[in-house]
Chain A
């Protein structure tokens, strides 16, 4: 792939991400249930019963274990990309809402990369991904003081096979609550 098409695709992804980010923000602002968004993106939630009326009330610590959206703590990325994919906007938005509802809550965003490419470059790539999630959380109302970014690069893989499937599972940002 040549540079022009790379730049073009990156630009498209950025525009797409920005557009979706805006939409999700509007959704939450207008009171759409975040739980619906996540359920439709393919989680194993048992339905609305345990997500509760998210938009109606404030999140509490218990929701981290029960809410279908908040229980999702991993955001995945495309190869060599740090753009937040549209299907993860809803997850980021509900975690942002959690931070808004719980000012004492603190999260660490752990950026990771797959094994391809050099280790220190992947450290940078993991940080970019965590920063992308951090930016989106903040755009959705979370405070930067509640967020710590750490990049592990390719050093903490969840699997070690050299396959597309495994690489896809390792290109991720994990949302870890250090204070609920």
Chain B
């Protein structure tokens, strides 16, 4: 196990001011640092040296170590093995012309990233970076300008560009996650819906409640979150604007109002309602609020998620006895069973290309995250997590990683695991029971 300690946020005050400026409705922000563990490793991962990017301005160095954030991103993808800075020796090139390729070849590196941080005026910074292969070919050369408080965003964008250049797959480090935190048990329990960067940094409160908050789901443009709230006594489905905090209750029927999921076009919301007597899948047109009933089946039908084309829904149903994943047309119609391995399959998440499906798979007391890969013609299952009580898988927008919730020592923690299961990273948000991670979409549409 490689332990990668990150320092806590250096200035709580600065963070609070940032939150107040960006999110006036945010009641508070958790300022405590995260503990990031990388479990396992990948010998086949590509070695890459991300050389520290020194501050070469005169106004004052940024708090963010850009190269360190890039290294951490690439490492947790499972596809790269960044060189520890201590192994660089005296080599500290900041420009392509300064790179001693022979030295990096002796370190068995395949690629080198160099860069530097400059002043950009008004307290902002300009980060210039370049990516080279061992033949001295410059593969990337970019400059990014940002305010001081957005330097982690810059670092994630650099990691995304490197990842895409070298793997051919769009990077998903510059994304956000949503999750639920519970503090306390019983009457004194407090629940919060949080959002944070994909690496767990910059947590911000979206909404707090003394009643349970459940099942957060992102809109495809990343501007809204749908979730289940019990603040009215019974469950209801709320859609909330992340930036303004404006919220509306879209479903508060008799019985269960649960498991919201935005359609790929953002215009419809699939959900589970038990107003007919038992949970069934419905699709709500968000403009008209008109409901279409998708399933009509005695038993529990819940946890709908959309296929990539928006034409069908995957959902959990116990119509065959135990929960399994089924697929049905979003307009209603006959359902087809999708999962046959494992006695319990629930809470599906579908990759953007529709070829991978991850579920919580279990039997009795052991639940693990399992992935069904249909991209190679025949279906193939793989186990992504060790158990025992793993749940709520959520694909990154590029499907290269899966976020899920686990229980350790009587509380919930979040893990990110590479889709090849080779690298797992724990994101521990201090002081609470953390669960139900939902990986948000790309920050910029293409």
Contact = CB atoms under 8 A, between A and B. Distances in A.
A82 to B, nearest CB: 10
Given A120-B258, A161-B410, A127 B212 contact: no
A121 B62 CA distance: 46
Contact of A153 (B214, B233, B344, B365): B214
Interface string A57-83: 000000000000000000000000000
A97 interface: no
A155 B189 CA distance: 10
Interface stretch (A42-50, A88-96, A110-118): A110-118
A124 B304 CA distance: 14
A115 B362 CA distance: 13
A140 interface: no
Contacts of A156: 186, 189, 212
Contacts of B256: 123-124, 127, 151
A121 B212 contact: no
Contacts of A117: 323, 344, 346, 360, 362, 367, 391
B385 interface: no
B321 interface: yes
Interface in B221-279: 230, 233-235, 255-256, 258-259, 272, 274, 278-279
A119 B228 CA distance: 11
B185 interface: yes
A162 interface: yes
Contacts of A128: 278, 300
Nearest to A156: B212
Contacts, number: 103
Given A3-B321, A115-B389, A116-B367, A121 B362 contact: no
B300 A119 contact: no
Given A127-B255, A158-B186, A161-B410, A120 B214 contact: yes
Given A117-B346, A120-B347, A127-B279, A155 B316 contact: no
A158 B256 CA distance: 21
B321 A7 contact: yes
B272 to A, nearest CB: 6
A120 B272 contact: yes
Interface in A144-160: 149-153, 155-160
Interface string A142-180: 000000011111011111111000000000000000000
B423 to A, nearest CB: 25
Of A123, A149, A153, most B-chain CB atoms within 10 Å: A123
Interface of A: 3, 6-7, 115-121, 123-125, 127-128, 149-153, 155-162
19 contacts: A3-B320, A6-B321, A116-B365, A116-B389, A117-B344, A117-B360, A118-B392, A119-B347, A119-B435, A120-B316, A121-B323, A123-B258, A123-B279, A149-B255, A150-B234, A150-B235, A155-B212, A155-B230, A160-B185
Given A117-B344, A159-B185, 10 more contacts: A117-B346, A117-B391, A119-B436, A120-B316, A123-B256, A124-B272, A128-B300, A155-B212, A156-B189, A158-B186
List 10 tightest A-B contacts by C-beta distance, closest first: A124-B300, A155-B212, A118-B346, A118-B347, A120-B259, A120-B302, A124-B279, A120-B303, A120-B258, A121-B346
